[in-house]
Chain A
Amino acid sequence: MQTLTVKRWTSSLLIFSTLSIIIVFIAMLFGSEALRPYDVIKTLIETITGHHETEISRTILFQIRLPRILLAAVVGGSLAAAGGVFQAILKNPLADPYVLGISSGAALGVLISLFTQINITLLSFTSTTFMAFAGAIITLYVVYKLSNINGRTPPQTILLVGVMINAIIFAIILFLTLVIDSNQFYKIFFWLFGYISSPDYTSLAIISLFAIAGLIVLLTQAGSINLLTLGDDTAQTLGLDVERVKRRVFIACALLVAAGVSLCGPIGFLGIIVPHIVRLLLGYDYRIILPVSVIGGGIFLVIADTLARTVISPVEIPVGIITALCGGPYFIYLMRRKRIV
């Protein structure tokens, strides 16, 4: 693998961005019987040329399919980025956004907001989104504080504390799900597996805002994240303020995870698999792995969600089931064949 240059960076990003646009277009073609690929192309052409003959097609395409595809892209990109970063910070190639309990924390926040039936909307920020972020941040803070030994946070300690906190929160989630109103049980059950539905454009915009904020922070820290893979002490002797970088990066990851979980629930496997595939293609420099993982995660989740809404159409399955079914075996294959772990 060649050393990273601006030229290689730009060309890789261009290739993957183009690919993602093509995938989004293809994903728009598929869906329930009501709108076949032919109708989609016809509607798209009509929209571009300004003839509006098929109003229903337009509604299905732009109010239902497109927002859902975009949501999958944003959430997939966020989770893949957060996963890649956690692998570096925790010095564990198997780490993902869920390992520290951040997503359980976000999920618990969402459940509490449903349970208490508080429904406040402030500047279009619903209480659910806010509670998801609060849950993620509080969990992260607790894990970080409990792992802190004399001002340092050794990766193994964070990992162990995180796994325990995750188990505790998950038990609380299951308990709440049992005592919660049975009408909501099915919905929550779906959501706990990771389920993408068609959002309105306002929620999509808010989620994107969270995601973009988190991603910008991570991208500016990509070089520092490279150094963190060498170990905290070495990173420090190379001029890094280790704890400050960790805190920044953790908060950015909490934003990304909370954004995803608040609407789609905890979607598994993506955060582990996507960065690994990107590393196989492009090497180990986080300055390229991070942006490409964002695009790759988006592509992965868009494809998975297209499968989720079409394989046994008109019945939809939680996308988390698809990511686990595809991701798990593929990951084992990678692990055995390429010895990536």
Chain B
Amino acid sequence: MNNAYNLRDVYFKYSDKWILEDISFDIKNGEILGIIGPNGSGKTTLLKLLSRILTPGRGDITVKGIDIAKYNHMDFARSVAVVPQESSFLFPFTVAEAVLMGRSPYLKGRLFENYHDAEVSAEAMKWMDIYDLKDRPVTDISGGERQRTIIARAIAQEPDILILDEPTTSLDIGHQTGIYNLLTRLNSERGLTIVLSSHDLNLAAQYCNKLILMNKGKIYDAGTPFEVITEGNIRDVYGCEVIVDENPVTKTPRVTLIPGETPMNLCLTKEYQNTYTTKAHI
């Protein structure tokens, strides 16, 4: 059986500076892979390469053993579903309409979805616990509900691989764990391979089988949560002093921040940096 993804020496740039350099890793079928790293480390860009929204400047990406560029658009959307960091709606479609759009790659020239499509998306809505909201406009529901709608749309695509860019960033801890629990169920009950990026090291450590730590466009470390989330790695990449011990319940690494110990040059707030530079000019 082919891996979900193979990346070999992948490079990417928007203009003249490489944003991603020398990226090589594999994603096995049925894995939950977490991509962590500071802002601007290339997490979103990497996910966009995996989603085929961007094309690598150099290197090879294969999906289920086939070159990513060789897929046609419909086939790719039936294999890989994407939940973007932000979703905008030009028009207030209802939740049911929004989820039903996940069936687009199966329409094959039909103008309307059929009974099967309606069933699949109803089931996706039930999975994400938004079936009761189906006739509400997506602009009228809470952020957590909207995120679940987008994930339901992705499930309706019946993909083998699900890519999520910071799926819980704007949600409270209740909704965060809610979404992660659902992702774990999708992984164990439906065998979905899941690739996600996250800023929350504890959640990532708790729910992912494997982590990739990005720094300045390169892979800094990769492996199991215990191998990647170490006090040394966090200090080197994020510039913060932390204590890493074991979560007594989940038996996964637990990160605790030590405030005062942070080196000033790395943890300056943006406002402070601005005042600082202005003063220097005067």
Give residues in A with beta carbon < 8 Å to B: 1-6, 9, 87-88, 91, 93, 220, 222-223, 226-227, 229-231, 233-234, 236-241, 279, 283-285, 287
Contact = CB atoms under 8 A, between A and B. Distances in A.
Given A237-B80, A284-B91, A284-B92, 10 more contacts: A91-B90, A229-B91, A230-B89, A230-B101, A234-B87, A237-B51, A237-B52, A238-B157, A239-B76, A239-B105
B135 A1 contact: yes
A231 B53 CA distance: 12
Contact of A4 (B87, B112, B157): B112
Contacts of B97: 3-4, 283-285
A3 B96 contact: yes
Interface string B139-164: 00000000000000100010000000
B3 interface: no
A87 B91 CA distance: 10
Contacts of B107: 223
Given A4-B112, A223-B107, A238 B89 contact: no
Query: What interface size band does chain B fall in?
Result: 35 or more
B280 interface: no
B53 A3 contact: no
Contacts of A91: 90
B84 A233 contact: yes
Interface of B: 48, 51-53, 73-74, 76-78, 80-82, 84, 87-94, 96-97, 100-102, 104-105, 107, 111-112, 118, 135, 153, 157
A223 B89 contact: no
Contact of A287 (B77, B78, B111): B111
Among A5, A87, A93, A234: residue with most chain B CB under 10 A:
A234
Nearest to B77: A239
A76 to B, nearest CB: 23
Contact of A237 (B77, B92, B96, B100): B77
Nearest to A287: B111
Contact of B73 (A3, A9, A236, A284): A236
Nearest to B111: A287
Contact of B88 (A223, A226, A231): A231
B101 A238 contact: yes
A198 to B, nearest CB: 36
Is the contact region of chain B dominated by helix, strand, or loop, or is it mixed?
Answer: mixed
Nearest to B78: A239
A9 B111 CA distance: 11
Contacts of A220: 111
Contacts of B81: 237
Contacts of B157: 238
A87 B73 CA distance: 24
Contacts of A1: 94, 135
B104 A227 contact: yes
A88 B48 CA distance: 23
A9 B112 contact: yes
A1 B77 CA distance: 28
B231 to A, nearest CB: 37
Nearest to B107: A223
A32 to B, nearest CB: 43
Contacts of B93: 284-285
Contacts of A233: 48, 51, 53, 84
A2 B136 CA distance: 10
Contacts of A222: 111
A88 B93 CA distance: 13
B7 to A, nearest CB: 18
Contact of A230 (B76, B87, B96, B118): B87
What 6 A-B pairs have minimum CB-CB distances, sorted nearest first? A239-B77, A239-B105, A284-B91, A237-B82, A229-B90, A239-B74
25 contacts: A3-B96, A3-B100, A88-B90, A220-B111, A222-B111, A226-B101, A229-B89, A230-B88, A230-B101, A233-B51, A233-B84, A234-B82, A236-B53, A236-B73, A237-B82, A238-B77, A238-B101, A238-B102, A238-B153, A238-B157, A239-B104, A283-B94, A283-B97, A284-B92, A284-B93
A179 B221 CA distance: 72
A43 to B, nearest CB: 41
A240 B82 CA distance: 13
Nearest to B48: A233
Given A231-B88, A284-B91, A240 B73 contact: yes
A5 B102 CA distance: 17
A5 B53 contact: no
Contacts of A234: 82, 84, 87
Contacts of A223: 104, 107, 111
B94 A239 contact: no
Given A88-B90, A236-B53, A6 B73 contact: no
A287 B112 contact: yes
